[in-house]
Amino acid sequence: MKIIKPIDDRTLVEELADLWRGRGILAVLIRRDISVRYRQAALGVLWALLQPIVTTAIFTVVFVLFIRLPSTDVPYPVFAFAGVVIWQYFNRAVSDGTTSLVTNAGLITKVYFPRIVIPLVAPCSAAVDCLVGVAALVGIALLFHAQLQWTAAFVPFVVLFVGLFGYAVGLCLAPLQAIYRDIGIVLPFALQIAMYLSPIAYPASVVPESVRWLYRLSPIAVMVDTMRWALVGSEPPSVAGLVFTLALTALLVWGGLNIFRRLEGTLVDSI
Amino acid sequence: MTIVVEARGVGKQYVRGAGQHRRLRTLRDALSEWAGRVVRRKPSDRSTVRAERFWALKDVSFTIEQGEVVGIIGRNGSGKSTLLKIVSQITAPTAGEVRLHGRTGTLLEVGTGFHQELTGRENVFLNGTILGMRRSEIAQKFDEIVAFSGVENFIDTPVKRYSSGMQMRLAFAVAAHLDPEILVVDEVLAVGDAEFQKKCLGKMEDLSRTGRTILFVSHNMSAIDRLCSRVIWIDGGMLIEDSRDAYAATTRYLFGDGGKSTLKAEWRPPSDHAFETEYFSLRWFRVRDPEGRTITRPIRNDEQAFIEIALNIKKMHAGLEFGCAVINEAGVYVFMTLASDQADANWPKMTVGDVVLSAAVPPRLLNEGLYRLDLMAGLYGERWFSVHFSTPYAVFLRIQGGMSDSSHWRNSRPGIVAPILGWSGTAHPATAGVERAGPLR
């Protein structure tokens, strides 16, 4: 028996149970997302490769040839590519996750299924592109004779971690975006600023010592550094940063689930 | 019988103006409102754009038993769709609760959950999963679904190239094969051709026969009559009527007398209130069959029916006129007929005393549907005692089936009337003896 009640005084456990119940739909929506993404694109999945490659090439030209950035501990293209792959994954997980409820309005205003699965679709389907990027990263690392480390086995976990963080942010923002479209306007700009402020194209070592602690705590920096450390053995992220990022992720997931729980019942009325 | 749907005091409040409308409510408003609350001052002027709250649905309670087919009727904006949205869990109620015992399948409007870029095949699987079917279940029923939808040839074409009718057919096919214990359907019959509508109704009948419960919103009253064992009538967000006599309820709804009168085939004082003038009193007004029995059941379009007006004439007047106006479900004036329609010499004789006027309704004239016959009575050139649309003296006649003897066109057809014209054919003029009336030559 199912009881439909006004105020959602459901517990987080019930919300997670919903997520589990909706796993079949989640799988279908992820598959849909992936197949739709490249369906009418002439280059198909190659786009997943082309984007980080072109971005890295431009970074290399600008930062190595023009700006003459102090050399990094691994070859610059490998350094930059690792950053770009992680950044692009995070970027898509957050931006697509945030708009997910609105883009799926046609679905959620017509049929019931656990809504909690929707913000999870983008991080999962974008993960496929990210893994393609990671495979390319390994190729580029070998091409530039970077030393692959045994810790490369941790790379899938890094990807999972980035996805989880992106999901948490999307979970918080998606219901808000459904009600206030301001979020969708500000978000691309905010993400762009975050990218410039993060050590994606440049190493944190070029940042003045006085603000470097911020870089050590920044979750994006931590994720990018973890990726570089795991794959090619550059300097590992700080323990403080790692703990902070994990704590922040947990907080955001918890907060996001709560926001979602409060708003999902009447979401349809505001979309 | 087991109860499958229980609604208790269900209400839904919406905010008109601000609130739900994203153009009016911005993050800035929300933030300033919040800031105002924190500082414990009155909210800023901008946020006091008074949000007008209204109940789209208020205190609606009912229980539905297993196997019932419930038609939900009401004008546009009456709250029917809100009710369906709550029952199908799409939006949460503001008050009350709904208990559901069973798997719910929902079909609200066109293209439920279809993704335009995906093919019909992919959408069947997508939609089926969303509606709660397992992949193997869908695969098992796939051929049946496709055959039912009639889009076999386009099943591997992206849905965006489908017509809205094709999308609806596919969507309905999926929902109908979902085997839900409770099927919630909103206005599917608005799209699709007559053929498919018939198929949908048939499928819903099948489902109800196998013990499924159906909640069905439609403006098509003949479909409601045919399909539903029960009617819930909602107006202004409130439950006006919950009746197991679908026919009577839809009639009351259509003829808008607020549920006071019942469908009647005969007007006869003293059980009905008297119609007395200084010239005559009405003894009865009814529709009867050739044997003189009042017709209370629906009749076939080719059945013979007679309009009968029985009077007691107290004082003769040369201008006494009697007849009736026939008005269909849509409120369209189909025709008017008066005892003095023919050449003067053929008018029925009227003398002081009891008189029974009657006229045959031509068979094969009226289309399927419900008709109201308004009594007309008056003095020619002077005044009417009873005139169409304002008269309380009205009886009803329902036409159902018997549309044609042809093997091709037996269903109800579009149009206000449905006459069968005597078509004839001639062979090529040069080779056959052309039968033509003289003056044309």
Residue B95: in which H helix or E strand, if any? strand B95-100
Alpha carbons within 13 A on the beta-carbon side of B83 = 35
Residue A11: pLDDT band with limits 50, 70, 90: confident
Q: Which among A86, A96, A91, A95 is positioned nearest to A201, based on CA atoms?
A: A86
Given CB atoms, is A269 within the 8 Å cutoff of chain B? yes
Which residue(s) pair with B72 in the sheet? B217, B232
Residue A189: predicted pLDDT: 94
Cα separation, B51 vs B395, in Å, equals 47
Distance from CA of B92 to the nearest CA of A (A): 5
B98–A contact, CB cutoff 8 A: yes
Name chain A contacts of B112, Cβ cutoff 8 Å.
Answer: 110-111
Q: What is the pLDDT of residue A81?
A: 93
Which helix (DSSP H) or strand (DSSP E) does residue B12 occupy? strand B3-16
Greater pLDDT, B428 or A227: A227
- From A189's Cα to the closest Cα of chain B, the distance in A is 17
pLDDT of residue A127: 93
B100 lies within 8 A of chain A by CB: yes
Identify the H or E element spanning B28: helix B27-39
Chain B residue with the nearest C-alpha to that of A179: B22
Note the pLDDT of residue B258: 40
Those residues with Cβ within 8 angstroms of residue B175's Cβ, 6 or more apart along the chain or in another chain: B105, B106, B107, B112, B131, B183, B185
Residues 6+ away with beta carbon under 8 Å from B411: B194, B198, B403
**CA angle B73–B5–B209, rounded 5-degree value:** 75
What is the biggest distance separating any 2 CA atoms in chain A, rounded to whole angstroms?
67
Residue with the bigger pLDDT between B323 and A25: it is: B323
Chain A CB within 8 Å of residue B17 CB: no
Give dist(CA B195, CA B201) in Å, integer: 10
What is the pLDDT confidence band of residue A252, given thresholds at 50, 70 and 90? very high
Q: DSSP letters of A219-264?
A: HHHHHHHHHHHHHH--PPPPHHHHHHHHHHHHHHHHHHHHHHHHHT
Interface probe, candidates A9, A37, A98, A112, chain B, greatest B C-beta count within 10 A: A112
Please list the helix, strand and coil fractions of chain A in percent, rounded to the nearest 5, in that order.
Answer: 75, 0, 20
- HSE-up (13 A, CA, CB side) for residue B389: 7
Q: Look up the pTM and report it.
A: 0.69
CB B263 within 8 A of CB B89: no
- CA distances B203 to B128, B206, B230, B331, Å, are 17, 5, 18, 30
Summarize pLDDT for A62-96 with one digit per residue, the tens: 988 888 887 777 889 999 999 999 999 999 999 99
User: For residue B274, what is the DSSP state?
Assistant: P
Q: Quick check: B185 and B215 in contact, CB under 8 A?
A: yes
Residue A109 has pLDDT above 50, yes or no: yes
Residue B176 near residue B203 (C-beta atoms within 8 A): yes
**Can you read off the two tokens belonging to residue B317?**
């007047």
Q: Does A103 touch chain B (CB under 8 A)?
A: no
Determine contact: A1 vs chain B, CB below 8 A.
Answer: yes
Express each pLDDT in A119-139 by its tens digit: 999 999 999 989 999 999 999
**Between chains, do A24 and B122 touch, taking CB under 8 Å as contact?**
no
Instruction: Tell me if ipTM is over 0.90.
Output: no
To probe the interface with B, which of A8, A110, A262 has the most B CB atoms within 10 Å?
A110
How many whole angstroms separate alpha carbon B161 and alpha carbon B154? 9
Helix (H/G/I), strand (E/B), else coil: B374: strand
The rounded distance, in Å, linking the Cα atoms of A241 and A51 is 29
Q: Of A131, A127, A134, give the one whose Cα is nearest residue A165.
A: A127
Please give, rounded to a whole number of angstroms, the shortest distance from the CA of B121 to a CA of chain A: 12
Give me the pLDDT at residue A220, please: 92
Closest CA of chain B from A249, distance in Å: 25
Q: From start to end of B248-392, where are the E strands?
A: 266-267, 280-288, 305-313, 320-328, 333-338, 353-361, 369-379, 383-386
* pLDDT confidence of residue B78: 85
Residue of A6, A29, A113 with shortest CB distance to B92: A6
Percent with pLDDT over 90 in chain B: 22
**Residue pair B132/B103 in contact by the 8 Å Cβ criterion:** yes
**Which amino acid is it at B22?**
R
pLDDT given for residue B35 in this prediction:
67
pLDDT confidence bin for A188, thresholds 50/70/90: very high
Say which residues have a Cβ less than 8 Å from residue A125's Cβ, sequence separation at least 6: A30, A33, A34, A37
pLDDT at A107: 81
d(CA A78, CA A148) in angstroms, rounded, equals 11
List, for residues B245-273, the tens digit of each pLDDT value: 887 787 777 665 543 444 577 888 877 66
Q: State the nearest Cα–Cα gap between B21 and chain A, in angstroms.
A: 7
Asked whether the beta carbons of residue B106 and residue A3 sit closer than 8 angstroms, the reply is no
Higher-pLDDT residue of A31 and B193 is A31
Say if strands B320-328 and B369-379 run parallel, antiparallel, or are unpaired.
antiparallel
**Mean pLDDT per 10-residue interval, chain B, length 441 residues:** 89 70 56 64 47 84 92 84 87 89 71 77 85 84 90 89 84 79 76 71 84 84 80 89 83 57 70 82 92 85 92 92 88 88 90 93 88 90 80 81 79 83 81 53 42
| B91, B108, B129 ranked by CB distance to A266: nearest | B91
